[in-house]
Amino acid sequence: MNPGDAAAAADPAAASDRPAAALLFSRFGWVALLVALDLWSKAAVFAWLRPLESAGELPRHACALMGHQRYPVLGDWFGFMLSTNPGAAFGKLGDMPYLLVGGRILAALFLGWLILRASPKKPWVAAAFVLILGGALGNLYDNLLLDLPHDGHPFGPVRDFIDVYFGFADWHFPTFNVADSCISVGATILVVSGLFGQPKKPAPAPAGG
């Protein structure tokens, strides 16, 4: 018997908190599926819209401040446009590429470890880690493996294409992709589960007569 089995035999409750191999396979399978969805969507939209953009056949966005060529999907508020982002969310850290990409790599490794350790009793927390890791790997692919013009940066930019504009407030949300959506949803789940998912304390046992 190895030390891990001995510890599990001594503490059955701790053993029940360990995800089984099948559950881990499912979790990382979802990570792979999210990465594939992100990469497919970016490749498909860029291949579709790039010839139209080059030919000037895409309508201009209604927001005068932006003026990008944009394919409307749902009215004026939701559309697709081609954008490459050398930074993080909202274009931050674009001037510190090694910090940005190095941080993404470390975060991906840490998230993988968290997925390995996440208890089956907290499925929403595990799902959040899966979403965030899938998003991080999707963007890392663009940084490390995609051959796009770097414009002086040592890493490739991230492809974005989902464009949202709130006309009633004259507010243009920064263009994003499926990976960014996964990261945002996963982070929201973590916050909500932290605020409302605390276990209830057991009621005190009645005093003996």
For residue range 161-174, list pLDDT tens digits in order: 999 988 777 777 88
In whole angstroms, give the CA distance from residue 16 to residue 120: 8
Q: What single letter denotes the amino acid at residue 88? A: A
- Tell me if residue 121 falls in helix, strand or coil: coil
CA distance 137 to 101: 11
Residues 2 and 34: their CA atoms lie apart, in Å, by 36
Question: Does the pLDDT at position 80 exceed 90?
Answer: yes
Query: Roughly what angle, to the nearest 10 degrees, separates helices 97-117 and 123-145?
Result: 150
Residue 180 falls in the annotated catalytic set? yes
Dihedral angle sign, alpha carbons of residues 156, 63, 54, 177 = positive
The catalytic position among 38, 142, 160, 163 is: 160
Could you tell me if residue 112 is inside a domain? yes
Residue 91 domain-assigned? yes
Q: Is residue 125 part of a domain?
A: yes
Q: What is the mean predicted confidence (pLDDT) over 6-31?
A: 74
Joined together, the tokens standing for residue 200 give 């209830």
Q: Is position 38 annotated as part of the catalytic site?
A: no
Residue 43: domain span: 21-52+87-161+179-195
Residue 44 lies in a domain: yes
| Residue closest to 88 by CA, chosen among 9, 142, 46 | 142
Distance of alpha carbon 179 from alpha carbon 141, whole angstroms: 11
Q: What is the pLDDT of residue 59?
A: 77
Per-residue pLDDT, 174: 85
Instruction: Give pLDDT, residue 9.
Output: 46
pLDDT at 67 over 80: no
106-118 pLDDT, tens digit per residue, is: 999 999 999 999 9
Q: What is the mean pLDDT of residues 18-43?
A: 95
Alpha-carbon distance of 45 to 160, in angstroms, equals 10
For the chain, the domain total comes to 1
Which is the catalytic residue, given 38, 142, 163, 180? 180
What is the pTM (predicted TM-score) of this model? 0.80
Give the amino acid at 28. Answer: F
Is 62 among the domain residues? no
In a domain, 147, yes or no: yes
Q: Where are the beta strands (DSSP E) in 24-157?
A: 71-74, 78-85
Residue 193 has a pLDDT of 87
- According to DSSP, residue 123 is labeled H
d(CA 203, CA 104): 43
133 falls in which pLDDT band (50, 70, 90)? very high
